[in-house]
Amino acid sequence: MSEGPTPRLFNINNPIKVSGYWCLTLVSLICCSLQTAKIAELLRHQKRANSYFSSSGASACLNLNGYRKEYLSDRTTWKARTPAMPPQSTQKFFARHCSSIWSMLIVGNLALSAFVFLTAEKKDAERGRSKMHIDSTQVSTIAAIPELQTIERDTERVCVCACRFRLRSKHRSPLPLGTLGLPFIGETIEFVSCAYSDRPESFMDKRRSMYGKVFKSHIFGSPTIVSTDAEVSKFILQSDAKAFVPSYPKSLTELMGKSSILVINGSLQKRIHGLIGAFFKSPHLKAQITRDMQKYVQESMANWKDDHPIYMQDETKNIAFQVLVKALISLDPGEEMEFLKKQFQEFISGLMSLPVNIPGTRLYRSLQAKKKMVKLVQNVILARKHSGFSNIPKDVVDVLLNDSSEQLTEDLIADNMIDMMIPGEDSVPVLMTLAIKYLSDCPAALQQLTEENLKLKELKAQLGQPLSWSDYLSLSFTQSVITETLRMGNIIIGVMRKAMRDIEIKGYLIPKGWCVFAYFRSVHLDANHYDWPYKFNPWRWQDKDMSSSNFTPFGGGQRLCPGLDLARLEASIFLHHFVTQFSWRAEEDTIVNFPTVRMKRRMPIWVKRRGAKENLVMLSSQLKS
């Protein structure tokens, strides 16, 4: 007598039973997987070293009741330590109901399988087939039924993987505390609303008080680790491309292009950065910048009229742009300069736009403006090649064209000339404008600055010598005013990088693929580093080291701004000529900090030219004191 057919858990002729069973099984396993993943995340965040898993025989299962009690106990202690911590609804739900959910899923699977098995067995008996007798050594239905074996095996694998994750996580640093906010949006709305206020660092300060100086968030579409810790930020800045690479909003990346010095990494970035940095530090360029800056400042100030409003932000932008373009491509004021200035304003207006590149959008217009500027620069490069290269480079184009590297193509050079205008055109005029604002609000600092510059001007006049770049940088109090302006103004609020691998620092984990935001403003305005941080006090920098990790206005590491010395030089020249030629009255104005730092009303001031008698009186009072 032949043996009857092996019982099946479902009848292939009944598609409803087939689909229903597998749908329920799939949903159950997905829920089990999500449950286990959530438990693993909770374990990682709470840094629990106790055993939440126990093993029995060959199978591994979750000791969920113990887990629930210990987690709730730990949660109570944790909340007592940090009363400002907001409740985590998802964690509370799983902490309360994880045991019942897990039990219901397993029991449901077993009950469903047993029901289908008994139904199939009954049908076999009705057809006159012999019953299947299960060997007594197979003590459970699971051992006899392949599908139940699969369920048991999959459940065991999930548990074992969770056990392995827990054991591995013992040796890894946890993610920083924090919240990811709403789905997709994250905490971007709150971040932007704070950024437009007069205290943009309030977003960071609130979370720093809750989670610590390093915390996680979700801004601008990416999960982000935010650092307001000076040491962590310094580590991020000094790391190479194997650890962190630049991360910018999509619209900014598309506008700059893949070959921009602000985006590229590796040997090419080091090569270009080194060439430009060496040129910007050369005495030849500093002498040229000094002559050009003095010329453009005097031409601009010659048109100022007494008792007429002067918009300082516009004036400084015009002067700084002329100096910058002259240093990059040796272009003098004229029609081409005006065309370039107009197209550049169109270009930078799309840096923080929506990343939609179709005709009529802000990004599309900005890209078209860049193409026109690139074409102009390419014409300059072609004319330079036809005229021949000089032994002493007179601008950045000469420096890059003289390099023998085949990677520095004409298109790459033209693109980077435009990209290098972005930080130079914006940061230097804002630095000069903010210095005037802070000096207007601090008469004592203004008086000391004016006396220092008048003394130097009188000395050089007696010697019959023009002021050199070294003379401007020797003005110690003027440099302190510029430094304090950089600290309070925070023209560059921070830098964003992307982790290329898992990074552990100071007990924190920065996962691969996450963005990291080194936020300088919170460090520069930290009362632990600076007394009365919101007070303009240039005297704090007298005889103080400015290379501290607590002061990073120009970034750091391999991407340290190559034009930082030129920015100081330009600001020094402008302040010297301004305070020695004019007295002024500033109208009320406020600083806007997002998306870039600027004055809301463009900093209107009313100027009055100083007479020789007025300057003489001030010098006499200085000599008496």
Residue ranges of the domains in the chain? 15-169, 254-624
**pLDDT (0 to 100) of residue 353:** 84
d(CA 330, CA 322): 10
Does 492 have pLDDT greater than 80? yes
**pLDDT (0 to 100) of residue 618:** 60
Q: Label residue 619 by pLDDT band (50, 70, 90).
A: low
Burial label, 494 (beta-carbon count in 10 A; 0-12, 13-18, 19+): buried
Between 282 and 369, residue with greater pLDDT: 369
**pLDDT (0 to 100) of residue 573:** 97
Does 257 have pLDDT greater than 60? yes
Helix (H) or strand (E) holding 282: none
Between 250 and 417, residue with greater pLDDT: 417
The lowest-confidence range among 64-78, 337-351, 511-525, 579-593 is 64-78
d(CA 442, CA 232): 34
Alpha-carbon radius of gyration of the chain: 34
Q: Label residue 94 by pLDDT band (50, 70, 90).
A: very low
Does 367 have pLDDT greater than 80? yes
The average pLDDT across 460-481 equals 94
Percent of residues, the chain, with pLDDT higher than 90: 49
Strands 508-510 and 503-505: antiparallel
**pLDDT (0 to 100) of residue 16:** 45
> pTM higher than 0.75 for the full model?
no
The lowest-confidence range among 45-49, 111-115, 617-621 is 45-49
**pLDDT (0 to 100) of residue 13:** 42
The average pLDDT across 490-517 equals 94
Shortest CA distance to 321 belongs to which of 301, 298, 347, 293?
Answer: 293
Between 242 and 482, residue with greater pLDDT: 482
Does 78 have pLDDT greater than 50? no
Does 112 have pLDDT greater than 90? no
Between 566 and 12, residue with greater pLDDT: 566
**pLDDT (0 to 100) of residue 140:** 42
Contact 151, 113 (CB under 8 A): yes
Shortest CA distance to 229 belongs to which of 549, 582, 598?
Answer: 549
Is 561 annotated as ligand-binding? yes
Phi, psi of 586 (to 5 degrees): -95, 135
**pLDDT (0 to 100) of residue 154:** 53
**pLDDT (0 to 100) of residue 52:** 36
**pLDDT (0 to 100) of residue 614:** 61
**pLDDT (0 to 100) of residue 354:** 84
The average pLDDT across 38-44 equals 49
Residue found by looking up tokens 């993610």 in the block? 175
Burial label, 603 (beta-carbon count in 10 A; 0-12, 13-18, 19+): buried
Between 414 and 64, residue with greater pLDDT: 414
Q: What is the pLDDT of residues 214-231, one digit of tens each?
A: 999 999 889 999 999 999
**Which whole-number Å values give the CA distances from 454 to 301, 438, 583, in the listed order?**
17, 20, 13
The average pLDDT across 197-201 equals 92
Q: Label residue 300 by pLDDT band (50, 70, 90).
A: very high
Percent of residues, the chain, with pLDDT higher than 70: 70
CATH match of 254-624 with 1.10.630.10: yes
Q: Label residue 419 by pLDDT band (50, 70, 90).
A: confident
**pLDDT (0 to 100) of residue 126:** 47
Residue 498, helix vs strand vs coil: strand
d(CA 255, CA 350): 8
**pLDDT (0 to 100) of residue 145:** 47
**pLDDT (0 to 100) of residue 226:** 97
Contact 310, 604 (CB under 8 A): yes
Between 88 and 198, residue with greater pLDDT: 198
Q: What is the pLDDT of residues 536-584, one digit of tens each?
A: 999 999 878 777 789 999 888 888 888 888 999 999 999 999 999 999 9
Q: Which string of DSSP letters, residue by residue, matches 420-453?
A: THHHHHHHHHHHHHHHHHHHHT-HHHHHHHHHHH
